[in-house]
Every structure is written in C-alpha cells, then in structure tokens.
Amino acid sequence: MTFNETNLDLETIIRDEVNKYLNRDVSQLPATVQAPKELTQKYEKMEVPKVGRDIYEVLSELNNEVLTYLYRPNHKRAFSFIPGPASRLSWLGDILTTANNIHASNFKNATLPISIERNLINYLAEKIGYEVKPSGGVFVSGGSMANLTAVVTARDAKVTLDKLTQTTVYLTSQTHHSGRKALHVAGFPTDNIRIIDHNEDFTMNVTHLKETIEEDVKNGFIPALVISTAGTTNTGAVDDFDEIADICEEHNIWQHVDGAYGASHLLSTKGKALFKGIERSDSVTWDAHKLLFQTYSCAMIIVKDKYNLINSYGEKAEYLDDITSDDDVIDPEMLGIELTRPARAVKLWLTLQVVGEDEFRRRIDYGQELAHFTENYVTSLENFEIISKPSLAILSFRYYNDSFTDEQNDHLNNIAAKKLADSGYAVAYTTTLNNKKVFRLCTIHPETTEDDIKETIDRLRLYILEEAENL
Ligand SMILES: Cc1ncc(COP(=O)(O)O)c(C=O)c1O
C-alpha cells in the first residue's frame, strides 16, 4: 500500500504533542543527562525503512529517547556556556513561521516578515547608537555566523584579496573562538593574527594593541581588523570601544564588536553606559538566542553602513530577477551568505510585541543582580575565592585550600563540576583563567531564584569536601 499522509490524524497528533510540551516544566527535568551507549548505537545504526513505520512508535522513540537525553539550555539551573533561556513566545513564533515554511530570501517572497526584520535591525542599531541610515544588517543562525559575515565584510572593505598575506588582524586570547574560525574561512593567514595581551580584568590591553599595530605598519603590514568584545564568554569582560576606535580611526582599521552575548545588555537599565563608544565600531554581532530569550537559531549582524554588506554579498542570479527588489538593499539574500533562510525575526518580533521592552529590561537587570548575589554568597564561604567579578551576569570563582597543591585544587573544582552535572541538578562547568580551573556561572535565566544559586554552590562545596577526604 502506498503511504498517504492524509490517512494520519496529524491534527490530533500535533495538538497532543504540543500539549505535552506545554504541560511540562523544563526545570523539573535534569539540567543535563547523557544518553546511554546502547541508544547512541541504536540511532547511529538505525536504517531508513523501505516501508514507513507506525507514527506512534516513532514518536515514542523521539519523546522517550531522542529528546530525553539532552543538555537543557533553558533550564533555570543551566549556568554554563551562555544559557538559552528561551521564552515560550519565541517557541510559538517558531511554530507559526515554520508551519508557513517562509522563504525569507527576498522582499517579494516574504514582504511583511522582511519588513519586520528591517524594523528590528533598525531598532537594535539605534540601541547601539548607529544612524538608522545607512546602518543595516541581517538575521543569521548564530554568533559564529554573524562573526563570519562581519569578518568577510571587513576584509572586503579594507583590502583586496591579493594583499591578504600582508594584512594583519587583532584579537585577544579571550575573543570567542568563532572569531578565529571566521578569520581562517576568510583566508587570513594564521601568522597574521596578532594576539593582543589582556588586562587583569580580561579586557583588551589597548596600549599593547597600539604598539603592535604601529610595529606592523613599520614592517609593511596592512592592519585591517580589530575584533573587540562586548561581554567575553569566559568572564563577561567589555573592551574599551572608544580607545580602540581612536586607534582604528587613525589607521583605517575596521572594528568589529562581538556582542553575541553582551549586546543584549544594551536593553538593561545600565544600557549604553556599559558599552561606551560602541557606536564608533563598524559592526556588531548580536545573538537573540542568548539574552533576547529566543529559541535557536536567531542572531544578527548589524553594520554601521549596510553598503559594505552589499559589497561582499550582493550577487545576482538571473532566475531570481522576477523577485529581486529594485532597491537592492531590501533583499536579505543580498546582505549575507544565505539564500533560502527562515524568517528568524518574526519570533523575536512576536516576543517583543507581547512582552514589551520594560519587561525585557527587568529580566536582563535581574540576571545582573543574581550574579552579584552569587558573588556575595561565594565570598561568605571558607576556602572559596572570586576569580572574576560579575560582569554582565557572568562571574567565576574557585575552591582553594593552601594545604593542597595547585593540581589538587584544580582536580577538586573539576570533579565537583562533573558530579554536579552527573546529578542533573544544575550545570556549572569550569573554565580556565590564569591557568586555574574555576567555576563559571552565567546567571541570566529570569526564573532562577537565590535559593537555586545557594543550593548549586552548596552542592559543589559538598562534592569538593567529599573528594578532599580521598586526597
Ligand atoms: C562572545 C561570543 N561570540 C560568539 C559566540 C558564538 O555564538 P553561536 O554559538 O551563536 O554561534 C558565543 C557563544 O557563546 C559568544 O559567547
């Protein structure tokens, strides 16, 4: 018998499946749980059947196995990486946009979704401090893709391809590694990537930047790009955009700000004061799937002058002539790498329209306050020390006991983070700062309570004390 989709009661199935998700509280599930080996093998080896299987059987595998063993970035005790505390409104926006399978390449194919995209890019560009005209941008899948889009744009704005071996770029060890990936894809030789020192607070050392650039100019190199960061992943450090802009303007260098995590703090009460001089940059990466509470994947690259995007990506194809806008800055496919792309802006628009800017501000402020609460709690504990103070709701700390060696102290911090994740209660993995293993917390979930923070740290402490007995 041939398969016929209309024989399935998909209406009931979709309603039931959505209901199941609506009726659960993600934070009652483990914050992370690893799939058992047998299941990994089952799904790696599963064959595509010649004749389709019963939908309820497949859905049961999907719900009880595939979607069960996951790290949950929107769990209220997921403190690692940059969490993804996505609003259910974003999820609703996702359902509605994917249900319509929107082809958001060109204005004529998805006029109003693209009007919404342009509207939000203008709104966020204004928050940065760019002039609405000629600034512009495009929604992309994430911060890595936004950084790549920016690096290629900067390259094309500043040098010709035959000069790449003489072209130098500048970042620090704290720059997100997607910056280095982007430079590699864009063809910058590894030897021409200058790693600038960072200060004690993990921000770029601007004196070292200036000296390095001057030395490069003296040696015949062409400095083209500085990647600064608004909220580094490790510590939330915010670079001095003003001072970097002074140097960039003097040497005709593009300043790209990676604000994948931090830029959303422009909507907080402290807002622009946190990012003095960001408006003097040439481009900003901004992830909505981090602190604008969106589901994956939703981010933006915003540039001061959108004609730079057209310069890099404004290719034409004859089979698209009928839908290509006369005003060639209107079609998103002319502003970035993707042609076929989902209407990512729609879910952010839905969330912002329903929730409003004031509530976004309250939520982002709350994350900053929780980081300060965490700092105070950690400071009250014996043998715990703060390693990086709260910056944009990220802080790091560690257990340190001088009766143990450095390796033993590292081991204790490491093992506690692993045990906590294994327990499923919370995720608070370590990072390495100044060669020390430290716990790193990013406290941005609006539903996290002070008790959640206390209990997470108490459990880490308990695991450490248990393990210390074996040393
Ligand atoms: C500062 C920074 N830049 C870029 C990225 C990469 O973003 P994505 O994971 O959305 O590609 C991250 C991810 O955490 C980040 O924190």
Summarised one tens digit per residue, pLDDT across range 62-90 is 999 999 999 999 999 999 999 999 999 99
Q: What is the pLDDT of residue 458?
A: 98
Domains and CATH numbers, the chain: 1-33+70-86+356-471 (3.90.1150.170), 102-354 (3.40.640.10)
Which residue bears the tokens 């001089």? 277
Residue 16, CB half-sphere, CA atoms under 13 Å: how many? 9
Does 409 contact ligand 1 (Cβ within 6 A)?
no
Inter-residue contact 292 to 264 (CB < 8 Å): yes
Proportion of the chain above pLDDT 70, given as a percent: 99
- Residue 327: pLDDT band with limits 50, 70, 90: confident
Which residue puts its alpha carbon closest to atom 8 of ligand 1? 143
- Residue 241: pLDDT band with limits 50, 70, 90: very high
Does 286 contact ligand 1 (Cβ within 6 A)?
no
Does 258 contact ligand 1 (Cβ within 6 A)?
yes
Assess whether pLDDT exceeds 90 at residue 324: no
C-alpha 438 to ligand 1 mean position (Å): 20
Instruction: Please report the atom of ligand 1 found closest to the CA of residue 82.
Output: 14
Instruction: Please report the atom of ligand 1 found closest to the CA of residue 233.
Output: 16
Question: How far apart are the C-alpha atoms of 47 and 334, rounded to whole Å?
Answer: 40
Closest CA to 417 of 386, 384, 439: 439
C-alpha 306 to ligand 1 mean position (Å): 22
- Residue 2: pLDDT band with limits 50, 70, 90: confident
Which of 144, 228, 391 best tests ligand 1's pocket when mutated (most atoms within 8 Å of CB)?
A: 144
Which residue bears the tokens 């016929």? 4
